[in-house]
Amino acid sequence: MDLNKLFKAMLVVLPIMAVSACSSTSETETDATSTNGTTSSESAANGVQTGGVAPIVSPEEQQRLKFQELRKENVIYFEFDSSAVSPQFEEILKAHAAYLVEHSNVKVVIEGYTDARGTPEYNIALGERRAKSVTKYLQGMGVLPSQMSIVSYGEEKPADTSRSDAAFAQNRRAILVY
Amino acid sequence: MKVLGKCLVLILVLCSAPVKAALDIVITEGVDAARPIVVMPFKWEGQDPMPSQISDVVTSDLARSGTFHPIDTFGLPQKGISGVTEFNTAAWANVSAEAVVMGSIKPYGAGKYLVSFDLIDLVKAQQNPAATKNDLLLDTREAVITQAQFRQYAHRISDIVYEQLTGIKGAFLTRIAYVVVEYGAKFPYRLMIADYDGYNEQMLLRSPEPLMSPSWSPDGRKLAYVSFENKKSEIYIQDIYTQVRTKITSYPSINGAPSFSPDGKKLAITLSKDGQPDIYIVDIATKALTRVTNHYAIDTEARWFPDGKSLLFTSERGGRPQLYRAYLGTGKVSRLTFEGEWNLGGAVMPDGRSIVFVNRTQGKFHIARMDLKTRFMQVLTETRLDESPSIAPNGTMVIYGTTYQGKQVLAAVSMDGRFKARLPMGQGEVKSPSWSPFL
């Protein structure tokens, strides 16, 4: 089955179902991951509620769709001077790993970045360590080393160019680029 | 040349027209401690308007050296004089300064000028009013220059004055290389060089990807730097006159922190091709590699000691970044810094006896200096997020990158920490300064 097509079809079908039921509002939301349940929407204008049934999706497909959503998240953030992957990013990395394991021909570049504290060259080394720590994590989940390459940009390409603590937190990151 | 053709996105530009000062110095501290000196406006002996005033350049050179404080020329006892023969010793008895610079500029044929100057010992004149004019003369020179050489010759005069009065060679005829970043621009990363005072700024390279760590060859002709133009770090050497670029290394993972050996034949670099960042030496002609360090921790930022026999570098082998020295003959490595939380990004003084580096204490990053014999460390700066110190070739001043009003700017501090100045730029972030050798 072509998953991509199914997913796209759902993106189209669900809003149509909802919109056709309550054409007076635009507050319709679709959740692609809750496809085994029912969808419902409420119209504030006339108070009626409609019920609908989502297409049947197997648990495996459900898992894949969830991962597909998660893979849209491709940035892992780090603590100051640390290259440890914090547990909150485990789900995201699992999703990427599952995809990479299934598609062994797909390659990913992991880019490592730091904030502006310290020296530029030390930060290149630290950025590489962050990227490596993500590679190790993915490798632990079965991704082949040959699928992954790394590049460190250190403090040279900040996501947020202001030099505040909030900006620094945004800049201490690794990005998975397919 | 093949490389050049391939990188169409990468544009090499060497503007021939001089650009006006890009760096305007703001002296933030240290005027009180400086030695007073008089720099008189040079006398113009031509019919047309004077092409350029040499004494303005000399005045600002001496002021930004941190050693001298050129006093206001408004209330001087004599005006319009250009040499010691016109100097009236008695009239200058109450002027509080230690020396007087005066001179003249004369048209000398087509597009040429004769510039002469005298340096007068005012302390001697005041202590011994009977001294002959010749006794008062510390130096006197004249030279024929073109209009394009006015600034250069003014720096030469500053060098002579500085050396006569301090015994230290002046570093006014030098350049700095630095990186300007303008986020959002088509080519955000630009490698620039300028005279040490910010004049004659010229772009050597611009790129859509980061440029880092410019480092001068000992003859002041070439720059080694890191470029990400091929989506990975690579080390290049570029001739600043001919624009010829040579790719030196492009190993997997990090290619960083190049530093020319004192004989100019080798580069100390950082490579992580063997698993973790280590220090290597690459022979520029043969590209042959010699590994210097082999440790699972980060080793980077190598700089040569002046004798070429050992390297200063940053290592994390003790748990936190600290400075170490690697002896190339024996392979011995010894730790140099212990004070503060981190010490990294080191530079070696021209005499090899002390080092300047980034010190982190209580989370704050400042430039510090340490004497290698006594291990005495002095923090020199009070600015924010200081990094990339580079030492003037005469060892009197450090230029470094810092943060001011949320932007990256360059700043300078004298080796005793008493003189501090900021070098603000119009646009973009300015970083990674590197001071040239004597030119």
DSSP B439: -
DSSP B418: -
pLDDT at A13 over 60: no
3-state secondary structure of B14: coil
The answer to whether A121 contacts B431, with C-beta atoms less than 8 Å apart, is no
pLDDT at B1 over 90: no
pLDDT at A15 over 70: no
Residue A58, pLDDT score: 81
Identify the residue among A122, A129, A164, A175 best suited for mutation to test binding to B, counting B beta carbons within 10 A and taking the highest.
A122
Mean of the per-residue pLDDT values of chain A: 79
Tens digits of residue pLDDT in A71-130: 788 999 999 989 999 999 998 999 999 999 999 999 999 999 999 999 999 999 999 999
B212 CB-near residues (< 8 Å, 6+ apart): A120, A121, A124, A154, A156, B179, B225, B226, B227, B228, B233, B256, B432
Lowest mean pLDDT among A9-23, A97-111, B102-116, B308-322: A9-23
How much is the average pLDDT of B28-41?
Answer: 86
Provide the pLDDT confidence category of residue B198 given band limits of 50, 70 and 90: confident
How much is the average pLDDT of A5-12?
Answer: 50
Provide the pLDDT confidence category of residue B330 given band limits of 50, 70 and 90: very high
Residue of higher predicted confidence among A12 and B62: B62
pLDDT at B9 over 70: no
pLDDT at B213 over 90: yes
Residue A49, pLDDT score: 80
The answer to whether A120 contacts B385, with C-beta atoms less than 8 Å apart, is no
Are B184 and B190 in contact by the 8 Å Cβ rule? The answer is no
CB interface of B with A, residues 138-177, below 8 Å:
none
pLDDT at B6 over 90: no
CA distance A115 to B87: 59
CB interface of B with A, residues 323-382, below 8 Å:
342, 344-345, 358, 360, 365
Q: What residue has token string 């500053």?
A: B158
Tens digits of residue pLDDT in B360-406: 999 999 999 999 999 999 999 999 999 999 999 999 999 999 999 88
Mean of the per-residue pLDDT values of chain B: 92
pLDDT at B57 over 60: yes
Q: How far is A125 from chain B (nearest CA, A)?
A: 7
Residue B318, pLDDT score: 95
Q: How far is A83 from chain B (nearest CA, A)?
A: 13
* Residue B310: closest CA among B288, B294, B333: B333
Residue B366, pLDDT score: 97
A150 in reach of chain B (CB within 8 A): yes
pLDDT at B252 over 50: yes
Residue A21, pLDDT score: 39
CA distance B179 to A156: 11
Please give the share of chain A, as a percent, with pLDDT higher than 90.
52
Residue of higher predicted confidence among B5 and A144: A144
Tens digits of residue pLDDT in A29-62: 334 344 444 455 555 567 788 888 877 778 788 7
Provide the pLDDT confidence category of residue B17 given band limits of 50, 70 and 90: very low
DSSP B92: G
Kindly state the tokens that stand for B136: 């008062």
The answer to whether B344 contacts A156, with C-beta atoms less than 8 Å apart, is no
Lowest mean pLDDT among B29-33, B247-251, B268-272: B29-33
Q: What is the 3-state secondary structure (H, E, C) of B272-336?
A: CCCCCCEEEEEECCCCCEEECCCCCCCEEEEEECCCCCEEEEEECCCCCCEEEEEECCCCCEEEC
Residue of higher predicted confidence among B2 and A150: A150
pLDDT at B95 over 90: yes
Q: What is the 3-state secondary structure (H, E, C) of chain A?
A: CCHHHHHHHHHHHHHHHHHHHCCCCCCCCCCHHHCCCEEEEECCCCCCEEEEECCCCCHHHHHHHHHHHHHCCCEEECCCCCCCCCHHHHHHHHHHHHHHHHCCCCCEEEEEECCCCCCHHHHHHHHHHHHHHHHHHHHHCCCCHHHEEEEEEECCCCCCCCCCHHHHHHHCEEEEEC
Provide the pLDDT confidence category of residue B262 given band limits of 50, 70 and 90: very high
How many alpha carbons fall within 13 Å on the CB side of residue B22? 23
Residue A45, pLDDT score: 60
Residue A44, pLDDT score: 53
CA distance B107 to A87: 77
